[in-house]
Structures are given as C-alpha cells and as structure tokens.
Structure 1
Amino acid sequence: MSTVTATPSEMPEFGFRTTESEVSETRERLTGFIRDRVEAAGADGVVVCLSGGIDSSVTAALATAALDRERVYGLVLPARKADDTGQFDAHLVADELGIGARTVHLAPLLDAFEDTVAPSVSAESDRVARGNALARLRAVTAYYAANTRNLLVCGTTNRTEWLLGYFTKFGDGAADIRPLADCYKTEVRALAADLGVPRTVREKPPSAGLWRDQTDAEELGAPYSLIDCILTKLVDEDLGIEGTAAELGVSVERVERYARMHLEAEHKRELAPTPKNDRERTDLFHELESRFREE
C-alpha cells in the first residue's frame, strides 16, 4: 500500500510521497471493493453518515463512484448548535455528489439518554462516556436506515484511526464495510483532492465532533503526517519501537505512545473473546508488549 505526503505547512520533515497513478489505483481498488461487497450482500446500496469531515466525504464520494448516486443514502446527525458548520459542509458534499442527505437532530435523544439512563448508572457526568453515547446513537440511526432500506452501513474509519483505536466501539466503529480502513489519513487527503472534495472540507482541522472544540491533533498529540509515518514503520514494517524512532529521528517515548495506543485498542479491532478464539497471537514491537502485559 502506498502512502502520501502531508501538506508542507503541516510537518514538512515527515511524510511519504505517491504518484498520481498510485492515487488513481487506490481509488479504483476501493470503488471496486464497495461495488463487490454490496453486490455480494444483495443490498440496494449503502448509508454513509456525513459529518462534514474529510473521511466521510471521501467515503461518500467513493460510494457514489462505485454505485451511482441513487444508491447512496446520506445521513447528517448533529447533536448541538456547534454542529452548524459540519451540517453545512455535509450538505455541500452531498449536493456536489448529487446524493440525498437526510438530517436527523440527535440532541433530544442524547438529552433523554442523559436524563433517563446516565443518573441511574453514574453519579457524575463523564464527557468521554457522553461522547461515546452520541457515537452509538449515530450508529443506531445508521443501522435503522440500513435495515429499512436494505442498505449496508458504510463506515468512514481510516487506517490511522483503526490502528490507534481512535473510534468508538459499536459507535463510528460499527459498520458492514470499511473502505478506508487500509488508507492512512494522509492517503485519505490525497484521495480527497483526487475525488474533488471541496477545499473547505479538506483543509478544516480533523475532529470526531463528540464535544465542543475537540480536535484530533490535540487528543493524539501530533499531526497525522507524523503519526502515519510512525505507524507505517511500527506496524507495517515491524521495525520495533527503537528501530522506528531511529529511522524517523524521533524520541523512543513518542513512538512508544502510539505503540501503546495500538496495543490497548486491540479489543476494538477484534471480535469479543470466546474460549475458542482466545488464542495465542503474533505481536509486533515485542519490547513494549512484554511490559504492557505485565502491568
């Protein structure tokens, strides 16, 4: 799998380069994947949750190229006033693609959840738990639409998020197909430009949108251009923590942070363990693995 360069203003000393033909090959491979999976499932199309961000926009564009616009159903699922910009960009993308996009305001559902469920299980409010509840309400809505229309839920999680567990289990991580799950965030940006995603969407700071002013860079501690380089060396090339740090000229502590995130999120990427599937695994970056398992 090829990887691409982040924009020079983001972090010029890190990144990978790719050619226009490689981006085109990736686009064709992913549209073929969507088409084949929908056909194999006997589905009428896909539903995509449109946030106004780059990942959901690229996913919708790929689905439209694969299936035609009438088979792609967009859902815009805001939960508060601060989502206005996301709603605008989501509908901008839907209009440019020519797909239908239905807006469902989830604030009443989230408020009812907090009034009815939250006080019964916890005496204190938890921002992360509330954000995860919102992500799961979005998944419920997407699957309701899919069930009533014979569609597949087309996930928008990219490879960077998948490897780090930077998604909500049974929330935005819930999907029938994940076309971007082997594309790093920097690759998604290259695809976005190739697919004609609006510049305003491509250039906005990435955010999961689970609470006010949340940004990916603040939570993850580095821009995607660097994180993608680390994960490529650490996971794809299996250089280990010290080898990755030496190769990229960054600290061992920085690499270890993302190695630890990858290990701790293993449960998000796998089926829930049962006696039959709780088997021995072959793990990467073993020096951290041994310490992590002892803690």
Structure 2
Amino acid sequence: MQTEKVIDHIVNWLKDYATNARVNGFVVGISGGIDSAVTSTLCAMTGLEVLCIEMPIHQAESHVSRAQEHIKQLSKRFENVQNTITDLTPVFDEFTTEVSLEGKEEVVDMALANTRARLRMTTLYYHAGLYGLLVAGTGNKVEDFGVGFYTKYGDGGVDLSPIADLLKSEVYAIAKVLNVPQSIIEAAPSDGLFGDARSDEDQIGASYPELEWAMKMKDEGKTERDFKGREKTVFKIFMRYNRNNQHKMIPIPICEIPSELK
C-alpha cells in the first residue's frame, strides 16, 4: 500500500465531500481505539472543523485514558479540532430501569451493548445538527464488509465512511504515519460496548489478521473443505459472521408493489 498517497486521497475525498455537502466539517466519536484515532486525524487534516466526542457508558478506564490521550494530542496538532465529553452513563442507566431485562443473560447483554452504540449515534447526530457537521464513521473493511462487527443504526449509522475500504492491517499502517499514540496502536482492538476491557478477538474468536486471511480466501472462492486445523476454524468463524450479518451489509429490503396493483 502506498500509505502516504492513500492518506492524501482520503483527506482530499473528505474535504471535497464536505465542501459539496456545504457543511462545516465532521464529528467523530472517540473510543480510544485505532479506528477512531485514524479517522479523526484524517478529518483534522482537511482543515475543516472537527468535533471529537467522548461518550462514556460505564467505560473501562483503559479506554477512557487512551481516548483522552489521543484527543489531547490531536488538539495540540490541529487548531481546527474541538472536543467535548457527553457522559451517557446516567441516560443508559435510566433506560435500563424502563425496559424489561428478563431473558437469557447473553441475549440481554447483547441488546444492551447495541443500545449503548445507538445512544452514541444519537449523540453524534445531535451535535452534527447543532454545528452543521457530518458524522464520520470509523468502521474498517473487515468489520463493515467481512464480519459485520458493528451495531446496525449504532456505530453503523454514519454520513460517510473514510476508512471502510481499508483492512485493519492497513489502518495500523496509516496510524503509524499519522503519529497516533503508541498506546492506541498497541492496545487490543475492542468495541467497548460491555463496560469492560474484553477485546474484539475475545468476542469473535479470531484475530483481525486471521479474519483478513479468511476474507481473502472467501473472495478467492475457497470453502471449509479447503482447510484443516486452525485455518478451518477461523474460516468457519468468518463465514458464520458473514452469513448472519448480511442484513447489516445489504440495503434495507423494500417490498416492491407490482404495477398492476397500484
């Protein structure tokens, strides 16, 4: 990958899109992870307004500290970067008192995790509307088009996706050139939706390098029968997520009414 040229391409794309949309810039949710750090830095490089928002909900301290480290560094480097904190913990806690929490524990936990993401999406769009900004998504190619590892209408609810055509490994390559804090580069990827430090690999059962490999194998037309051992396990994991999350990756189904019925 021609990293410098890719960075220039994304920055120019962001700037052109915002200019054509006649908005002032971008709003980005900062999680303390590599994807939001890279996305916010690319947005800052456009010279347009960038609002970085922390939205903790019973957040793990390691996530909070990394997010704050990144925002502090980015604000020093770019005068066009502003930041704010919206503590959504009270909102989330109040929500849990108004809904049923009965059912299988793992199902309830996942529903609440997705609720966190949707509360954050609502917060980002509130600020976007307030200041004339676009919500910049932070999903990468493996998450968005491989395993669908994001929340529908949560972190998947965005105006544009600057890094969605980059594999996770490519995001890391760009992060190094953009001088993203080392603590973020070295941290295990995590969606931060459960209030603890569990990693994406803990949840999925495979690492991003493994998922990138499986994604490539699928594109080459391989099947489970082509692999053994760990490779077969990883490929099965990837395919299960890919099949189950197709509803996130394809356009919303529309019931088309036959012309003779209208």
Using structure 2 for the length normalisation, give the TM-score: 0.88
Q: Which residue of 1 aligns with 2:218?
A: 234
| Contact 2:117/2:155, CA 8 A, preserved across alignment | yes
Which of 203, 217, 242 is 1:219 aligned to? 203
Q: Which residue of 2 aligns with 1:53?
A: 33
| Contact 2:204/2:237, CA 8 A, preserved across alignment | no
SS at match of 1:101: strand
| Distance apart, 1:242 and its partner CA | 4.8
> Whole-Å Cα distance in 1 between the matches of residues 64 and 234 of structure 2?
35
Give the letter for the 1:274 counterpart. Answer: I
> Whole-Å Cα distance in 2 between the matches of residues 173 and 26 of structure 1?
23
SS at match of 2:84: strand
| Contact 1:30/1:179, CA 8 A, preserved across alignment | yes
Q: Which residue of 1 aligns with 2:147?
A: 164
Q: Which residue of 2 aligns with 1:139?
A: 121
Q: Which residue of 2 aligns with 1:127?
A: 109
Give the letter for the 1:266 counterpart. Answer: Q
Give the letter for the 2:65 counterpart. Answer: F
Give the letter for the 1:30 counterpart. Answer: I
- 1:25 is aligned to 2:5: yes
> Whole-Å Cα distance in 1 between the matches of residues 154 and 226 of structure 2?
32
> Whole-Å Cα distance in 2 between the matches of residues 26 and 37 of structure 1?
16
Unaligned regions of 5+ residues in structure 1, if any? Answer: 3-21, 278-295
Give the letter for the 1:214 counterpart. Answer: R
| Distance apart, 1:84 and its partner CA | 2.9
> Whole-Å Cα distance in 2 between the matches of residues 178 and 244 of structure 1?
34
> Whole-Å Cα distance in 2 between the matches of residues 114 and 96 of structure 1?
35
Q: Deviations over 1:84-107 (max 9, x none)?
A: 332222222122222221011111
| Distance apart, 1:29 and its partner CA | 1.7
- 1:176 is aligned to 2:155: no
| Distance apart, 1:250 and its partner CA | 5.3
| Distance apart, 1:206 and its partner CA | 0.8
Give the letter for the 2:254 counterpart. Answer: T
CA shift in 2, pair 1:244/1:55, >3 Å: farther
User: What pairs with 1:229-268 in structure 2 (closer than 5 Å)?
Assistant: 229-235=213-219, 238-242=220-224, 245=227, 251-268=231-248
Give the letter for the 1:54 counterpart. Answer: I
Q: Which residue of 2 aligns with 1:78?
A: 56
| Distance apart, 1:114 and its partner CA | 0.6
- 1:64 is aligned to 2:44: yes
SS at match of 1:90: helix
Structure 1 residue ranges (4+ consecutive) displaced by more than 4 angstroms after TM superposition: none
User: What pairs with 1:85-100 in structure 2 (closer than 5 Å)?
Assistant: 85-98=62-75, 99-100=81-82
Using structure 1 for the length normalisation, give the TM-score: 0.79
RMSD of Structure 2 on Structure 1 (CA) = 2.0
| Contact 2:143/2:150, CA 8 A, preserved across alignment | yes
Q: Which residue of 1 aligns with 2:94?
A: 112
| Contact 1:233/1:244, CA 8 A, preserved across alignment | no
Percent identity over paired residues: 29
Give the letter for the 1:234 counterpart. Answer: K
Give the letter for the 2:73 counterpart. Answer: E
CA shift in 2, pair 1:28/1:232, >3 Å: farther
| Distance apart, 1:257 and its partner CA | 2.3
Aligned residue pair count: 247
| Distance apart, 1:262 and its partner CA | 1.1
Q: Which residue of 2 aligns with 1:36?
A: 16
> Whole-Å Cα distance in 2 between the matches of residues 243 and 37 of structure 1?
44
Q: Which moved more, 1:101-110 or 1:268-277?
A: 268-277
> Whole-Å Cα distance in 1 between the matches of residues 111 and 184 of structure 2?
27
| Contact 2:30/2:52, CA 8 A, preserved across alignment | yes
